[in-house]
Structure 1
Amino acid sequence: MLAYGVAADFMDKYVRIGESTAIESLKYFVKAVVDIFSNEHFRSPNSNDIAKLLVVGESCGFPGMMGSIDCMHWKWKNCPTTLKERSFAFTELAKGRAPAVNYTINGNEYTMGYYLVDGIYPQWSTFVKTIHSPQGNKKKLFAAA
Structure 2
Amino acid sequence: MLGSLDCTQWEWEACPVAWQGQYHWSDHDGPIVILEAAASFDIWIWHAVFGMPGANNDVAVINVSPIFDRLTDGVSPDTSFSTNDGNYEYGYYLVDGIYPEWATLVLSFTCPTGEKRPYFKKKHELARKDIERAFGVLKKRWSIIRKPARFQQID
| Alignment TM-score > 0.5, same fold | no
Give TM-score, length-normalised by structure 2. 0.40
More helix as a share of residues: 1
Give TM-score, length-normalised by structure 1. 0.42
Select the structure of larger CA radius of gyration.
1
Higher relative contact order (CA 8 A, sep 6+): 2
